[in-house]
DNA sequence: CTGTTAGCGCATTCAT
DNA sequence: ATGAATGCGCTAACAG
């Protein structure tokens, strides 16, 4: 890549004007006569001048950069979200820096610390922390840099959040299974994030609506150890819950592990029960799995607009939606009882 | 996030030394007495000072940032690669900016143009361009900024490349099918990238080794229109190639489309032929698809080390491997004839 | 071993 | 409408 060696001074010399004037036409502020503008433009073109964003940043405190902090870009939900963020940001001339936390609060802390010195204009955060103490809060966020939360809420962080309507999703999915006649419905999820908790809350509400007893052992939310799942735990769940006739698997990554175990246990082949998954994939399509579709692209797009709006202190068109809907895509993995 | 408002000057005042001295202890260069170092360190700690990377960059021409230019982070191969790049870069204190080209050379051009002014230290590029004219080449790259290619080679760009050994993969996969007794083997792929071409070259070599005739109609490489596949084209392929007994699908994204069509056409269910896919996924595992595994993490890791090595003009441990091996994961989708 | 000084490229106030 | 001058926060000579 060519280096940005040609500076505003070179352009000024070439055009026979001062650097201030060049700055005016490049930055589009102040007033410049048509004639000099043309001359400057010509010089810029001839020299192939591109403004040095770093110098601009140092001077103006704006680096046209936003950071996205997520668990991992390998997660397809985040990948699609980041993709949308990047596309949207590019529209507005922003670059995006990605930071993987691997879902470790400590790594998240490090990234934020590192970002301190980078004069980032804004942050989009899907935090690995489920709750933040007052003290941490100060370290994490003191209001200088615009920040929006995505996908998950964080207790103690009063910030804009763009997230799926997880409660509604859990509620309508459970109702769908209930309508098919299922009464003993299992739930498997991972982590203590608001996403999972909201979905489970929706599930509970649906049961309560029909005065159906909630059996705690049917809800399991801790099946992970460092990015891979514990097969034994999954097996034990199914052994202890042979009575369930339907299950909801709240994570896309978990679904694969569960199905693999079910195949081993010869449970899924027997069509012993119905199953609903979260987040679509080629697997879900090919296997005909009924799936709750989220729209990470929409969440990403909106999050990008939201931060950029805050950065530029203006309202971007379409801004305002914090809750993004979901769709229950019915395929053939749920049967009436 | 807190802003990086406390500067080197504040620290200097606090510690009762000059800014130069602070710079020395922060930057770890020059010589500082133990006593003053302690005083500076204490001041830094008290003030919560973090160096302003933007100012550092402007001054030292090093922003500790590398850019990754890819088709899309939504592509799981790239997502895993980017993930590894970010992890590795973080180890060395670098941030990574992602740029999606959507596989459009024009968008790629725009990103590179934008990057010009950002004082990026290095670039990792998976180009949407299959060949670059000498003129374009000059615009793209003049050697000032270290750049390495990943996944794909670009004709006319004499740069380090980190890629899968696609030729070997195509060769061994074809030989595997030949060993099972297949003689009429179909190939479906997308794009004119070196990846696809190399795999096909391996296929051709394997056939030639056994003096088996190459039938052009069995090789199809143009089934895409703007990120989605043309079902009719896929159907036509299979109608025109009813005689093939095995197929190799060279793209992960294409595999899904192909399987979906096969399901519709009732071809796969009939076990009419054997199938090998590229790049693993939950679908491949659940469906028992024999798959050529690539290692995007390894490619990403190596690419990161390579650019950083070039940036810092030193050799990082383990550096040097440009060709990353693949693994033919045999499952149950290929049957002897 | 440490301080002084001079920019890096640009935006911006103050003159003119 | 335009130019001169200043400084953003830091590094790197150069002195001492």
Q: What is the pLDDT of residues A16-70, one digit of tens each?
A: 999 999 999 998 888 889 999 999 999 999 998 999 999 999 999 999 999 999 9
Q: For B229-249, what is the mean pLDDT?
A: 91
CB contact under 8 A, B118 and A2: no
* CB-strand contact A59/C, under 7 Å: yes
Does the pLDDT of residue B226 top 90, yes or no? no
Closest alpha carbon to C1' of C3, residue: B18
Looking at residue A162, what DSSP letter applies?
E
Q: What is the mean pLDDT of chain B?
A: 91
A6: closest CA of chain B, how far (Å): 10
Domains of chain B listed by start with CATH number: 8-51 (1.10.260.40), 65-163+296-324 (3.40.50.2300), 166-294 (3.40.50.2300)
- pLDDT value of position B1: 64
Does the pLDDT of residue B7 top 70, yes or no? yes
Burial class of residue A198, CB neighbours in 10 A (0-12, 13-18, 19+) = buried
- pLDDT value of position B311: 94
Residue B77 backbone dihedrals phi, psi, to 5 degrees: -60, -50
Work out how many CB contacts closer than 8 A connect A with B: 183
Assign 3-state DSSP to chain B and report helix, strand, coil percentages, each to 5: 45, 15, 40
Looking at residue B213, what DSSP letter applies?
P
Closest alpha carbon to C1' of C2, residue: B21
- pLDDT value of position B262: 86
Q: For B302-326, what is the mean pLDDT?
A: 88
For tokens 């394997």, name the residue.
Answer: B206
- pLDDT value of position B139: 64
* CB-strand contact A7/C, under 7 Å: yes
Q: What is the mean pLDDT of chain A?
A: 90
Which has more pLDDT, A230 or B74?
B74
B window 93-152: Cβ near strand C (< 7 A): 117
- pLDDT value of position B135: 64
User: Which of B286, B297, B301, B333 to probe by mutation at the A interface, max A CB count within 10 Å?
Assistant: B286
Q: For B78-99, what is the mean pLDDT?
A: 97
* CB-strand contact B36/D, under 7 Å: no
Q: For B57-69, what is the mean pLDDT?
A: 95
- pLDDT value of position A229: 79
Residue A288 Cα to chain centre, angstroms: 26
Structure tokens given for B110: 């725009």
pLDDT tier, B222 (very low <50, low <70, confident <90, very high otherwise): confident
A59: closest CA of chain B, how far (Å): 9
Q: For A151-157, what is the mean pLDDT?
A: 90
From B133-142, B188-197, B255-264, B310-319, the region with the lowest mean pLDDT? B133-142
Question: Which is nearest to B238 in space by CA: B258, B255, B221, B252?
Answer: B258
What share of chain A has pLDDT > 90, as a percent?
A: 71
User: Which of A54, A78, A88, A280 to probe by mutation at the B interface, max B CB count within 10 Å?
Assistant: A54
pTM of the full structure: 0.94
Q: For B88-96, what is the mean pLDDT?
A: 96
Does the pLDDT of residue B269 top 60, yes or no? no
Q: For A226-240, what is the mean pLDDT?
A: 85
Coil, strand or helix: which one is B149? strand
Nearest to B144 among A1, A98, A287 (CB): A1
How distant is C1' of C2 from CA of B37, in Å? 12
């Amino acid at each position: 890549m060519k280096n940005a060696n040609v500076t505003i001074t070179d352009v000024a010399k070439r055009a026979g004007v001062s650097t201030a004037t060049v700055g005016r036409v490049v930055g589009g502020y102040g007033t410049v006569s048509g004639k000099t503008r043309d001359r400057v433009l010509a010089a810029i073109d001839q020299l192939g001048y591109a403004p040095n964003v770093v110098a601009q940043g140092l001077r103006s405190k704006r680096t046209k950069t936003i950071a996205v902090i997520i668990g991992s870009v390998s997660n397809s939900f985040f990948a699609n979200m980041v993709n949308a963020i990047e596309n949207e940001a590019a529209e507005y001339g922003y670059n995006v820096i990605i930071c993987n936390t691997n879902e470790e609060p400590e790594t998240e802390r490090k990234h934020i610390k590192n970002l301190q010195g980078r004069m980032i204009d804004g942050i989009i955060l899907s935090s690995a922390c489920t709750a933040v103490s007052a003290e941490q809060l100060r370290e994490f966020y003191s209001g200088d840099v615009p920040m929006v939360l995505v996908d998950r809420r964080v207790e103690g962080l009063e910030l804009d959040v763009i997230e799926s309507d997880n409660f509604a999703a859990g509620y309508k999915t459970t109702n769908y299974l209930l309508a098919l006649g299922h009464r003993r419905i299992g739930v498997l999820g991972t982590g203590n994030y608001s996403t999972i908790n909201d979905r489970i809350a929706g599930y509970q509400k649906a049961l309560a609506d029909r005065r159906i007893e909630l059996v705690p052992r049917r809800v399991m939310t801790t099946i992970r150890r460092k990015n891979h799942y514990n097969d034994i735990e999954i097996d034990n769940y199914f052994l202890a819950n042979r009575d369930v006739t339907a299950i909801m698997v709240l994570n896309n990554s978990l679904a694969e592990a569960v199905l693999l175990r079910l195949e081993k246990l010869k449970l899924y082949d027997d069509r012993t029960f119905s199953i609903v998954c979260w987040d679509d994939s080629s697997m879900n399509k090919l296997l005909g799995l009924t799936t709750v579709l989220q729209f990470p692209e929409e969440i990403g797009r909106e999050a990008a607009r939201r931060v950029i709006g805050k950065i530029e202190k203006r309202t971007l068109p379409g801004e305002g939606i914090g809750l993004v809907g979901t769709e229950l895509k019915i395929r053939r993995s749920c049967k009436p009882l």
